[in-house]
Structure 1
Amino acid sequence: MNSMGFPSVFAILLLFIGTVKATRVIFSGMNFTMFCPWDGEWFKNDEKIEGQTELYSLKYNSDNKGLYYCQNGGEKYYFYVKGKVCENCTELDATLVLLVMMVDGLGTALLMILIYRCTKKKSSAGPTYSSKAPAHSGGRAPPVPSPDYEQLNTHTRSQDTYSIVNRTG
């Protein structure tokens, strides 16, 4: 594993652990519900509140944010409640977001494969040969050591800007 992989995996693990712990308080619409691991008494800022039960639900507003805990004997389980709520809010499930991202990636990959296959050349891999030889027009070419193909004389050429021949090889 490379050096960047370990911190990434560690950060994802911490986020997952934090998410699991955070599910003990659930906001839904204008309400929130706290889940205690046992039947116990509920307290807010050291003042006892109603009932002895595993869960406590309440309509959220600015007055009821703060520190809560449930107590069974000497054991206490703490909650700090602070959130934002609205009447018409909808909750977005992380599984749904992950599923949409995966389907989008898969759809993009399939579209790329389809475009690649449709635009690929339709010819065979080997060279194609014609059944007849190509026709020669205009007769024979002059012999190779011909004055028509001699090198240019650098002393008789014009020295203007665009008359210089650059050799590249």
Structure 2
Amino acid sequence: MHSVAVRVVLVAFLLFVGTVEARKGGITFWRDKVTLTCPDDGQWYHKGKVVLNNSKTHEFRYLGKDRYSCVYVDQDDNDERTYQFYLEGNVCKNCFEVDASLFGGTIILDLIFTSVIMIAIYSWTKKKSPAAPIQAAPRAPARPAGARRPAGRSVEYEQLNLNTRTQDTYSVVKRT
């Protein structure tokens, strides 16, 4: 059980780190579209020509291997920087990709939802008050003193003699 918990924590940590690192800049494929993300607003170049000005993202239809670049001014040191993109991937119109943060969020929500259901079931099935006392079974009507017992009854079912019965814990019959 301990190793399973360690694995779950490790997977959640790696999913979180992967989503944080992707925010700096990168490439996102969605079906047959590509979105390039530059760390800051800048000019986008394709084969030496400007294709987009003053934008942080550039989206287009993927047609095959290609190169793009983003030139932006770093706000920390006012230096011009170039961010290079080399595209190569497989795309299709009917593909569906699950994002790491969506996958991690689904797992966490499932764990929370399951825990809530378990707590609800436990609280609803828990006894709120002690059990009611057991009611005595109804007694058979009294027989007249001279009447005999019906034929066919065995001696095994005879009433216990109070004088010969033991007084152990479980042999005492309480009549309420």
TM-score, with length taken from structure 2: 0.47
TM-score by length of 1: 0.49
